[in-house]
């Protein structure tokens, strides 16, 4: 059985939770419920969304490399595609259909009835959020990240081939490719530089390289050095270099978390907490954004003080993870019962067997 890397669970859990908290702060302010998230110390989190993206990208590269990096021979494309398919699409489809049915019943008519039927292809392939700036799609969940990460998954075997020739070659090619969108300006297509798979390829390759050399995390000396570099980068004012600065901050946070996770791992309760939140983080990710956008303007509460604001946010975060758990468990049962295959990822396997 493949060794489970604790700091990857921590990165995944921290990143998803931060995304939820950031959107909670923003939605509370946008819908006029409370500006405490902006006015308090929590406001510093609102600008960290791009750093969280970097964590996700590096994590994705590391997770794939953990599976395939030490295997001999080339990747079997059919098996690779099947595992990626099962890890992404069943839970995505179940969540989308559940929300679509609920909202259709509430509205009394079909959602997106004004769109041509063929555009559901973009949703079926999970590219609807990524393509939304270019063409209107029946997008509800997953944001831009799913289509973005699927493209990186397709590029992974090529990067792995380069790594086996030379890790330096892989990083060099990834760096050069990442420079292209900076010059081309994806904004011409109505897209952000941060949602360009090419622009984030270096961070993805960093995750691949990191897990091969620091499977157990970095040493204390390396962790302290990374933390000091983080402080220096946060003190650096933004400018034309803001994109590489944010990418570097994300990669350094990844490094620091791998270090501090060594101490956290010694506590059994902490291990169980991060394992659980990691297992059900994808379900929480798929659900949270639509829930925030739908729930806040209709049923959101107005906290009277900062403590109520924090407790309300914690309650909503726990609820989102709870729904993520239920969706993941349901998907695991369907994958095993309907498709007659064993779920490919541990979170789905746990859901199917529990």
Question: Residue 301: its pLDDT value, please?
Answer: 86
- Whether 221 maps to a domain, the answer reads no
Helix 6-30 with 281-299: angle, nearest 10 deg: 10
Question: Residue 352: its pLDDT value, please?
Answer: 35
- Whether 98 maps to a domain, the answer reads yes
Question: How far is residue 316 CA from its own chain's centroid?
Answer: 19
The single residue listed with the structure tokens 């949602």 is: 195
- Beta strand extents in 192-348 (DSSP E only): none
Question: How far is residue 142 CA from its own chain's centroid?
Answer: 9
Question: Residue 235: its pLDDT value, please?
Answer: 93
Question: Residue 152: its pLDDT value, please?
Answer: 97
Question: Residue 350: its pLDDT value, please?
Answer: 38
The CA distance from 288 to 49, in Å, is 15
Per DSSP, the three-state class of 147 is helix
The CA distance from 222 to 110, in Å, is 55
Question: Residue 348: its pLDDT value, please?
Answer: 42
Count structural domains, the chain. 1
Could you give the angle at the alpha carbon of 205 between the alpha carbons of 201 and 211, nearest 5°?
150
Question: Residue 45: its pLDDT value, please?
Answer: 81
Domain range enclosing 287: 6-214+265-353
- Whether 240 maps to a domain, the answer reads no
pLDDT of the chain along its 354 residues, tens only? 567 899 999 999 999 999 999 999 888 888 888 777 777 777 778 888 899 999 999 999 999 999 999 887 778 888 999 999 999 999 999 999 999 999 999 888 889 989 999 999 999 999 999 999 889 999 999 889 999 999 999 999 999 999 999 999 999 999 999 998 877 765 556 678 889 999 999 999 999 999 999 999 999 999 999 999 999 999 999 888 889 999 999 999 999 999 999 999 999 999 999 999 999 999 999 999 899 988 888 888 888 888 999 999 999 999 999 999 999 999 999 988 776 666 554 444 333 333
From the list 308, 334, 348, the residue with the least C-alpha distance to 88 is: 348
Question: Residue 189: its pLDDT value, please?
Answer: 60
- Whether 77 maps to a domain, the answer reads yes
- Whether 255 maps to a domain, the answer reads no
Could you give the angle at the alpha carbon of 20 between the alpha carbons of 315 and 263, nearest 5°?
90
Structural contact between residues 119 and 27, judged by C-beta atoms closer than 8 angstroms: no
Torsion of CA 32, 34, 38, 41, to 10 degrees: -170
Q: Sign (positive/negative) of CA torsion 196, 63, 158, 341? A: negative
The CA distance from 57 to 155, in Å, is 13
Task: List all residues 6 or more positions away from 67 whose beta carbon is below 8 Å from its beta carbon.
Answer: 2
- Whether 321 maps to a domain, the answer reads yes
- Whether 247 maps to a domain, the answer reads no
- Whether 236 maps to a domain, the answer reads no
Q: Sign (positive/negative) of CA torsion 29, 284, 99, 319? A: negative
Query: Which of the 8 DSSP states describes residue 76?
Result: -
Question: Residue 259: its pLDDT value, please?
Answer: 97
């Amino acid at each position: 059985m493949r060794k489970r890397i604790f700091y990857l669970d921590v990165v995944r859990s921290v990143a998803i939770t931060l995304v939820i908290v950031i959107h909670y702060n923003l939605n509370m302010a946008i819908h006029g419920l409370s500006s405490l998230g902006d006015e308090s110390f929590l406001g510093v989190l609102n600008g960290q969304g791009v750093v969280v993206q970097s964590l996700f990208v590096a994590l994705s590269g590391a997770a794939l490399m953990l599976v395939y990096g030490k295997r001999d021979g080339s990747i079997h494309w059919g098996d690779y595609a099947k595992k990626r398919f099962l890890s992404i699409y069943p839970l995505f489809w179940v969540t989308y259909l559940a929300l679509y049915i609920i909202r259709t019943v509430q509205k009394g008519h079909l959602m997106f009835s004004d769109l041509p039927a063929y555009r559901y292809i973009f949703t079926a392939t999970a590219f609807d959020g990524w393509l939304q700036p270019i063409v209107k799609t029946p997008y509800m969940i997953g944001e831009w990240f799913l289509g973005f990460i699927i493209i990186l998954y397709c590029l992974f075997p090529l990067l792995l081939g380069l790594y086996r020739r030379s890790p330096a070659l892989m990083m060099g090619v990834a760096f050069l490719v990442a420079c292209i969108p900076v010059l081309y300006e994806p904004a011409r297509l109505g897209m952000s530089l941060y949602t360009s798979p090419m622009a984030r390829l270096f961070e993805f390759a960093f995750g691949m390289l990191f897990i091969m050399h620091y499977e157990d995390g970095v040493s204390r000396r390396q962790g302290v050095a990374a933390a000091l570099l983080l402080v220096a980068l946060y003190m650096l004012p933004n400018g034309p270099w803001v994109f590489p600065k944010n990418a570097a901050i994300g990669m350094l946070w990844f490094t620091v978390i791998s270090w501090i996770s060594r101490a956290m791992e010694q506590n059994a309760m902490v291990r169980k907490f991060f394992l659980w939140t990691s297992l059900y983080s994808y379900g929480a990710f798929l659900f949270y954004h639509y829930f925030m956008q739908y729930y806040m303007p209709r049923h959101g509460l107005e906290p009277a003080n900062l403590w109520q604001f924090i407790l309300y946010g914690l309650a909503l975060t726990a609820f989102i993870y709870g729904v993520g758990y239920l969706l993941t468990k349901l998907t695991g049962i369907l994958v095993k019962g309907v498709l007659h295959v064993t779920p490919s990822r541990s979170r789905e396997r746990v859901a199917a067997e529990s």
